Copies of this chain bind each other. A is one copy, B any other.
Amino acid sequence: MIKESKFESNVRNLHYGMVGGGEGSFIGDIHRKAAAFDGKCQLIAGCFSRDYNNTLRTGTNLGIAADRLYESFDEMAAKEAGRADGINFVSIVAPNHVHYSAAKAFLSNGINVVCDKPLVFRVDEAEELSELTERNKLLFCVTYTYSGYPMVKQARKLVKDGKIGDILMVVGEYPQDWLISTIENEGQKQAAWRTDPNQSGVSNCIGDLGSHIENTVAYITGLKIKSLCAKLDIIGEGRTLDTNGSIVIKYDNGSSGIYWASQVAIGNDNALKVRIYGTKGSLEWYQENPDYLKVTYLGQPLQIYHRGCRYIDSVASSRIPPGHPEGYYEAFANIYNRFASTLLKKNSGEIFNEDDFDFPNVKDGLEGVKFINSCVKSSKSGAVWVEL
């Protein structure tokens, strides 16, 4: 059905800066389009690269004033904090190893943070950021993309409302195939940093994909992982980090989970699928066809929930009518849109409601870091069980 649209202002209410995302970056443009999508955020400052010339070229192309282009994020954090018209938040999209120090710099200067995932390398770093965020009363959003999809929000709502009962079993998978060949040796930059422990940390596949399963499941179900057993495989000549992993999970409610992530499973691109089985019903969501949610109630036929239809909950907010697909950009934009709305509320002193915090935050990022490190620890010890 064609609905009347809400009127969207094009006047940017929030100003933000960016760390990373210079020439050569893939994710930088995604973040900028996502931030711009709903007309709430304007990019006015940046430290787009360690290479200042890159920052200058990027910033000029983006129409940013010269005095808001910085040589380092430390300088940017300090100077923006010192301005009356300083940025309202920073978006950190640099490679993983930069996240911790960059986030710390902005938090310390009282600036709200949006940060790509995984949050950081080490649990103590994540805990420190979490404490800093709380102490300085800031908002911290970790852009786990898939939490932005409307039907993921619908799934979360159905679980919250008890529609599928107590959860018994979770099955999550995220296979890709782009690392089946050792393309890091052929100059593919994404492959190069993903397979490099200095830039990716202790894990490649689980850090990149497994953590998306972990967050999507946590976002939908609210379950906490109690312990896990992970068998990680390093497939690919000369590699030192995992490219495939099988994980069995025990959740805090006594239920079980099984996760599989892979970068070497031919025929898969971004085939994230999450299935939740409860005592009253079940849910299945598949990222490559994201406008649909499979829902089965005990003894009834499978139902295919479709984004934007009348029976869909308002929290699974839609932009366009059902049947006109929304995709990855829109999901990403939903995260920024929610973060921006909440930040505007915060800035104006409005009262929050539960839905204002439906974006992944620094504590969710911390859970992700714990998960990744526990998987690696388990696997290195012979795939034994590890408590989180």
A4 touches B324 (CB 8 A): no
With contacts A3-B26, A4-B26, A256-B246 taken as known, whether A62 is within 8 angstroms of B323 at the C-beta atoms is no
Assess whether A231 is interfacial by the CB under 8 Å rule: yes
Interface flags for A172-199 (1: CB within 8 Å of B; 0: not) read: 0100111011000000011000000000
Set of chain B residues within 8 Å of A281, measured between Cβ atoms: 266-267
* Stretch of A83-91, A99-107, A297-305, A336-344 contacting B (4+ beta carbons < 8 Å): A297-305
Q: Name the residue on B nearest A270 (C-beta).
A: B323
Q: Which residues of B contact A304 (CB under 8 A)?
A: 301-304
Contact with B along A309-345 (1 / 0, CB 8 A): 1110000000111111111111000000000000000
A residues 92-128 near B (Cβ < 8 Å) are none
| A323 partner residues in chain B, CB cutoff 8 A | 176, 268-271, 287-288
- How many copies of the chain does the oligomer comprise? 4
Q: How far is the CA of A343 from the CA of B279 in the complex (A)?
A: 47
Known: A294-B267, A323-B176. A248 touches B229 (CB 8 A): yes
A218 contacts the other chain (Cβ, under 8 Å)?
A: no
- Give the docked Cα–Cα distance between A26 and B318 (Å): 13
Q: Which chain B residue shows the least CB distance to A10?
A: B62
Chain B residues with CB below 8 A from A280, complex form: 266
- Choose from B256, B279, B303 the contact partner of A302 (Cβ within 8 Å): B303
Whether the pair B326, A320 counts as a contact (CB closer than 8 A) is: no
Contact flags A18-50 to B (C-beta < 8 A → 1, else 0): 000001111011101100110000010000000
Given that A301-B311, A309-B301, A324-B328 are known contacts, is A61 also in contact with B382, CB under 8 Å in the complex? no
A147 located at the interface, meaning its Cβ lies under 8 Å from any Cβ of chain B in the complex: no
A265-288 interface mask toward B, CB cutoff 8 Å, 1 = contact, 0 = none? Answer: 111111100010111111010011
Name A180's contact: one of B61, B295, B298 (CB within 8 Å): B298
**Distance in angstroms between the alpha carbons of A5 and B73 in the assembled complex:** 23
How many residues of chain A are within 8 Å of chain B by beta carbon? 105
In the complex, A81 Cα to B319 Cα: how many Å? 35
Q: Interface of chain A, helix or strand or loop or mixed?
A: loop
A5 to B80: give the CA distance in the assembly, Å.
Answer: 29
Partner of A329, one of B277, B279, B320: B320
Given A268-B323, A321-B269, also A2-B23 (CB < 8 A): no
Cβ contact within 8 Å between A168 and B235: yes
Is A223 on the interface with B (CB-CB < 8 A)? no
A132 within 8 A of B: no
- Enumerate chain B residues within 8 angstroms of A301, measured Cβ to Cβ: 295, 303-306, 309, 311
A262 interfacial by beta-carbon distance below 8 Å: yes
A residues sitting closer than 8 Å to B (CB atoms) are: 1-5, 7-11, 23-26, 28-30, 32-33, 36-37, 43, 58, 61-63, 164, 168-169, 171, 173, 176-178, 180-181, 189-190, 229, 231, 233, 235, 244, 246, 248, 250, 256-258, 260, 262, 264-271, 275, 277-282, 284, 287-291, 294-306, 308-311, 319-330, 382-385
Nearest 5 A-B pairs (CB), nearest first?
A269-B323, A270-B323, A267-B296, A325-B327, A327-B327
